């Protein structure tokens, strides 16, 4: 499969990922395809993605990552199999899937996030009525009861439960998802959020952790838990700093906990500039 470079498609590497994917996605969604020349499923998926990129006429751009040439980039994103496709919007991984989907499922996937650009409408957009998390939960539960075969609604329900603060119920729904939805980028992101929150279940308070770090700068557990507390409060950059320190000074501590925490944190943050800055700092330490 040859990566085609057009106005709607381009090759991605570590040098242009920040500008052409993360920053560019603030204006236009970017579909990132992790592929390789030897990958048979990639040979069927790639042309379909390229066809849809042309058909959607700029509603999204298609970025192609040859994993053999960009092993570091694939490693940072935890790519375990190819093809893997991620949709990046507003600087964050919004959705994704693994494997070669047929065209119908690809169109369904894209329709959840983007629409083809085939002309501009003069009609002003309708203002959506704000829906509370509890209202969303009730609506989704009723929809699932009437359409139990629509499994994607169960992921929506898990997300709504988490937003409403019902972590245990959200995790129950998440664990019950079918395999194809369990690897959905939204499910992966939610699991990361729940895992981070769960790690604080028996953790000391913020002040106690700060005192431990001051008393012993090599108290790696305190650095780790302090990172989680800060990330989930109002100082995410300070939390990320603790994991970068761990990555620099104790990379192998607790089976590489620092790298895992950083990758999970990137999936929970809604700040493209912050995530991009810390991705670069993480990459500089790893590579």
Query: Is 193 in a helix, a strand, or coil?
Result: helix
> In the sheet where 92-98 sits, what is the strand order?
9-11, 61-66, 30-35, 84-89, 92-98
Q: Is 39 a catalytic residue?
A: yes
Q: Is 186 a catalytic residue?
A: no
From 42, 49, 67, 159, the catalytic residue? 42
Q: Supply the DSSP string of 129-188, one letter for each residue.
A: PP--HHHHHHHHHHHHHH-TT-THHHHHHHHHHHHTT-HHHHHHHHHTS-HHHHTSHHHH
Nearest to 189 by CA among 266, 248, 87: 266
From 39, 87, 110, 187, the catalytic residue? 39
> Which region, left, alpha or beta, applies to residue 2 given φ > 0 means left and ψ of -120 to 50 means alpha?
beta
Q: How would you class 54 by CB atoms within 10 Å of its CB: exposed for 0-12, middle for 13-18, buried for 19 or more?
A: middle
CA distances from 173 to 58, 169, 190 (A): 35, 6, 11
9 and 62 Cβ atoms separated by less than 8 Å: yes
Nearest to 39 by CA among 81, 80, 77, 71: 81
Q: State the Cα–Cα distance between residues 274 and 162, nearest whole angstrom.
A: 23
Catalytic residue positions, numbered: 39, 42
């Amino acid at each position: 499969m040859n990566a085609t470079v057009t106005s709607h498609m381009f090759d991605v590497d570590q040098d242009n990922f920040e500008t052409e994917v993360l920053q560019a996605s603030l204006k236009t969604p970017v579909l990132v395809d992790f592929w390789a020349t030897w990958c048979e499923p990639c040979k069927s998926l790639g042309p379909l993605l390229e066809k849809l990129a042309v058909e959607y006429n700029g509603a999204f751009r298609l970025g192609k990552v040859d994993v053999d040439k960009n092993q570091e980039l694939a490693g940072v994103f935890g790519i375990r199999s190819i093809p893997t496709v991620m949709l990046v919007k507003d600087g964050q991984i919004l959705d994704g899937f693994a494997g070669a989907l047929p065209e119908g499922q690809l169109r369904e996937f894209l329709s959840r996030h983007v629409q083809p650009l085939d002309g501009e409408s003069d009609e002003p957009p309708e203002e959506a009525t704000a829906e509370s998390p509890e209202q969303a939960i009730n609506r989704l539960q009723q929809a699932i009861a009437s359409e139990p075969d629509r499994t994607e609604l169960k992921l929506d329900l898990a997300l709504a439960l988490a937003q409403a603060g019902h972590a245990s119920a959200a995790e129950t729904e998440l664990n019950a998802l079918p395999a194809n939805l369990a690897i959905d980028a939204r499910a992966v992101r939610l699991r990361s959020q729940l895992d981070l929150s769960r790690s604080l279940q028996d953790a000391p308070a913020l002040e106690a952790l700060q005192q431990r770090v001051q008393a012993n700068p090599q108290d790696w557990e305190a650095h780790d838990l302090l990172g989680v507390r800060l990330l989930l409060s109002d100082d995410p950059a300070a939390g990320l700093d603790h994991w970068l320190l761990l990555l620099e000074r104790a990379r192998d501590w607790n089976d590489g906990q620092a790298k895992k925490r950083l990758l999970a944190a990137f999936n929970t943050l809604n700040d493209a500039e912050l995530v991009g800055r810390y991705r670069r700092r993480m990459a500089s330490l790893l590579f």
